[in-house]
Amino acid sequence: MKQAIELNVNGEPHAALVDTRETLLDTLRYKLGHMGPKEGCGNGNCGACTVVLNGAVVNACLVFAVEAAGADVTTVEGVAAEGTLHPVQQAFIEHGALQCGFCTPGFIMSAKALLERNPNPSEPEIRLAISGNLCRCTGYDKIVRAIQAASQALSQTA
């Protein structure tokens, strides 16, 4: 069964005709052209599809598209403001916090959300905040360091 929905993605209004079995992740990727969120597992185990839905950090693969009707969604494509990378993105680049990059969109979303609610997290707090995101390339060391660096950069500009 199909259903028409409207939602805002990265501040832009969108409309889509979605299958009621379709996930928000599928709609974002295949109906609305936002390929940034990735599907690594499809059941909420890996975090590669992490987006912000009405202010909450969620796995887009665990949300039906019809549940997101009327919602505000932020994906990794909406993190850089007018072509300027967010300090979290900048820190990931500078600290070598990505290799294959497939998990990176999810980590960027989780890390940005962490720093918004806790600007100066401890190392255990960082590790807890990203424990829903799997990375198989880096061993997490450089990701943790990048988030620490982004925290410092943000506190200097604040």
Q: What is the smallest separation between the CB atom of 83 and another protein, expressed in angstroms?
A: 10
Which secondary-structure segment (H or E) carries 124? helix 123-129
Q: Which of 8, 14, 39, 64 binds another protein (CB under 8 A)?
A: 39
Measured from the Cβ of residue 152, the count of other Cβ atoms closer than 10 Å reads: 14
DSSP secondary structure of 132-153: TS--SSS-SHHHHHHHHHHHHH
User: Of the two residues 133 and 151, which places its CB atom closer to another protein in the complex?
Assistant: 133
User: Of the two residues 3 and 99, which places its CB atom closer to another protein in the complex?
Assistant: 99
| Interaction of residue 45 with another protein, rule CB under 8 A | yes
Strands, E assignment, the chain: 2-9, 12-19, 50-53, 56-59, 72-74
Q: Which of 53, 71, 103, 149 binds another protein (CB under 8 A)?
A: 103
CA dist., res. 5 & res. 140, Å (int) = 38
**36 and 79 Cβ atoms separated by less than 8 Å:** no
Q: What is the smallest separation between the CB atom of 12 and another protein, expressed in angstroms?
A: 15
Catalog residues that contact another protein under the rule CB under 8 A. 19, 21, 26, 29-30, 34-43, 45-46, 48, 75-77, 79-80, 85, 89, 92-96, 98-105, 108, 124, 126-128, 130-145
